[in-house]
Each structure stands twice: as C-alpha cells, then as structure tokens.
Amino acid sequence: MISGGAASITGTAQNTVRRPNFILIVTDDQGIGDVGCYGHPEVRTPNLDRLAASGVRFSQWYANAPVCSASRAAILTGKYPDRTGVRGALTSEPTWDVPGLRQGETTLPAVLRNLGYHTAAFGKWHLGSAPQSRPLAQGFDEFFGWYSGWLDAYSHRYYQLGSNPGKIFHDLWRNETEVFEEPAYMTELLGREAQAFLARQDRQKPFFLYLAFGAPHYSMMAPRRYLDRFPAGMDRDRRMYLAMVAAVDDVVGSLLDQLERQSMERETVIYFQADNGATREQRASSDGKPYHGGSNAPLRGYKLGLFDGGMHVPAILRAPGIVKTGQVWDRPMISMDLLPTFLAIADSNAAPSSGIDGQNILPVMRGERAEHEYLFWSHGNQRAVRHRDWKLIINPPSFPGEEVRDKIWLSNLEADGSEAMNLAGQEPGRVKDLTEKLRAWERDVGLAPSP
C-alpha cells in the first residue's frame, strides 16, 4: 500500500499536451542501504532524495535477477530474463561477438521509437557485443558507452587479471565508432553526455534516455572531491563506495537542473533503480577480503544470491501529473513492469506485444488491479518464488561468514523481512505448493529444473 496518501495516481498520459519524455537511470551494484531517502543518514544523495520527494519511492521493488546482464535484460524487454536468453552475466571479450539480446527482440526503446521517440543509451550495455545485440540494433538511435561488464573508471579499459590468460582491452564507443576520453572520470563523462543530450532535444519530439552507470561497481575509484564529503576516519571501502554513489547523485542533480532550465521537468518521467544489490565480491575490496563497502541493510544477502539483498533494490519514480509526490509504495513490484508502464504512459491506447511478463503498475497503484500473484527468480542453480508475503528459495546462497546448509528456505517477509528464520519445516504444505509453482514456471520459461 501507499503511505502518505490514499492514492498515488492523479491522472493519465491523456492529461498531457504531448507524449512525455522518459529518463531511465540504472546504477550498478547499489544496495538499498546506499540511498539517503531509504533511511541511511551517512549516505549523501540529496538529488536522489529530491527525486523521491517529488515522486514515489518503492520500498519493495525487485530486480528480475541478482546480477547485471539478466537484470538489465528484464528492464528493457518486460520479460523474465530467462525468456530473453540473457541469463546471468554475459562475458566480456575484445572480439565484439558476444551474443545477448536476440535480433527482433521487443525492447522498450524500439517500442517507444515506433511511437515517435528519439532514443539514446549512455553507459554500460552488457547485453551483448555481437552486432545484432548492440544498442543500435535494439531500438536506440544513439549510443555512448561500453559493451563489457565494467570498465576502469579512468582508462576506460576492461581487464581480467589473476587468471591465465588474463586480458585487457579498451571499450568505449560512440555509436559504432571507438572513442578515447581517458583520463576523464567515467561517471562525470556520462553526466556530460546525458546533459548535452537533453540540451539538444527538440521540445516537439519526445525522447527516451537510458542512462546506465557503471558505478558503484568495481573498479572502485572516485576523485578526491567526492571522497572529501565523507569522514576521513570512515572505513576505507565504505568511504570509496559512498564517494562513487555521490558522483552518480551529482549527475542526477545536473539532469534535474537541466530539465528545469529547459522548462521540461513537468513533461519528463524519471525512473531510477539499481540493477541488483551490493556485492561481497573480493575483487571490489581494498584488503583482499570479502567486500563490505556497499550495504543491503536491513536485507539479507548480496549480489549473486536470491535472498532479498541480491535483488530487492532502491527504486524511485517521478511522473508529474501521473504520480503524486512524496509517496511510498510498500507492496512488491518488479523491473519487468517498466516496459508496459512506460508504454501506457506514452500511449494509453497501446498494448504490449504478446510474451511480455510485466504489467502496467499504474492500475495497481490506483487499486484497480492486483499486484503480481507470483514473482519468480533464477540464478545458477538457485530458484526463488514470492507469493504475497511468502518467499521460497531452492538452494539458498552462502556468503563468507554467512553459510547456509539448508536446501530449502521459506520466509514470511511481512513478519521477517531479513529472512532470518527458515519456516520450511513448519510449513510443508506451503513448501510443496510453492515448489510446484516454481517447477511450472521453469517449464514455461524454458529453464532446466534446479537440482
């Protein structure tokens, strides 16, 4: 339900003079404990907080996967990532032939471009570097960014070290042309490109901007001006992580200010979310130990796992004239809902193509339609299903210092949001029913049954 008001929807896209613009912002490995408006005072995110104050903050928004490629595939297709063929994290190769999104896939930019939108993607792609999977083949008119899973923030090179053979290669592109911008700090570089994109937009033609940051994912780097916003005595990894988040927040602020200068703030829908939760990966650490710089508190788990910390993420929507300001929606929603929701805002008469798993969230928030009865996730041999407030995990993940021996984990998220207690032994009937639902979903999306 919504706190702060009885309803959140005050109108529809039909109230606007023309189709609204869309800005979709995605961060990388940012935990729900890493945004100030989620109740974490050590975090410095005044512009994301400002965005939430002028829109709706979701307290139970889920990514469709606990890892980047699969999560982003769901954002852009409106489908469970298992249906798109993008499962887990795609590899990064200098041969530019990694398959990802399939040719002819229905994507959010392609749908909006068919409605007359100018579409652009800036930042991390990681949905395939093969020609048919690249942004310009998937509905975008412009692209500035990289294909790999991450980049060095200053050299703009991907590298994989500590294995034989290691690899390192430059990966920054404008459309199909390689460009060189080192040593510009990547988060600021994306801000420059996004702000310039807004400045050149024609008020008569709507736009869709997909801004996909590589921060605060490894490589863990930030200029001194961001580090200086946090106490010198703060834990080193936490300080660097929050500095990277602060740099992202500054870019968000620059875009909000740019929209105001162009008098476009009332006709632009802005949505923000993280692609998955904060990580425990050792490569992000400064001391060679499991990483602790990002926070998923009060949730359990991390990136790569199906406890809520892996895919229960911060999410904010500002939609002037459509969503009332200052609201908090506290029932579960999920990233694959974005495509049908944006489409409904752009054209109330349009309907998503068949095969879309997401649903328009606006009728749900108006009380006209029920939320998803079941939500499903997969990662490796892990499976999870949520039914109302109950969540079942098959093969729950272990992390350093947080080992799990049970093969089945059942939680009531209303009573135990941190998934601390395993109720599987007390609820055998519920375990059986939810397991059957998971098996049916596996068959439906073409996924091999988990052991």
- State yes or no: is 217 an active-site residue: no
d(CA 279, CA 68): 11
- Whether the CB-CB separation of 418 and 409 falls below 8 Å is answered with no
- CA distance readout (Å), 182 to 117, 121, 189, 225: 32, 20, 10, 19
- Whether the CB-CB separation of 270 and 8 falls below 8 Å is answered with no
Q: Are strands 312-318 and 268-274 parallel, antiparallel or unpaired?
A: antiparallel
d(CA 291, CA 282): 5
Q: How many residues does the chain have?
A: 451
- Whether the CB-CB separation of 267 and 21 falls below 8 Å is answered with yes
- Whether the CB-CB separation of 194 and 206 falls below 8 Å is answered with no
Token look-up 């989620």 returns 38
For the chain, helix (H) and strand (E) counts, in that order, are: 10, 18
Sequence-separated (6 or more) residues with CB below 8 Å from residue 163 = none
The token pair at 12 is 């529809």
Sign of CA dihedral 63, 450, 126, 303: positive
User: Which residue among the candidates 37, 40, 118, 126 is catalytic per the annotation?
Assistant: 126
d(CA 65, CA 71): 5
Residues pairing with 26 in the sheet? 212, 273
Closest CA to 76 of 358, 353, 339: 339
Q: Give the number of other Cβ atoms within 10 Å of residue 196's Cβ.
A: 12
DSSP secondary-structure letter at 427?
A: -
d(CA 164, CA 309): 32
Closest CA to 381 of 28, 75, 87, 69: 87
Cα 156 → chain centroid: 22
- State yes or no: is 126 an active-site residue: yes
User: Which residue among the candidates 68, 156, 217, 379 is catalytic per the annotation?
Assistant: 68
First-residue to last-residue Cα distance in the chain: 36
| Residues with a known catalytic role | 68, 126
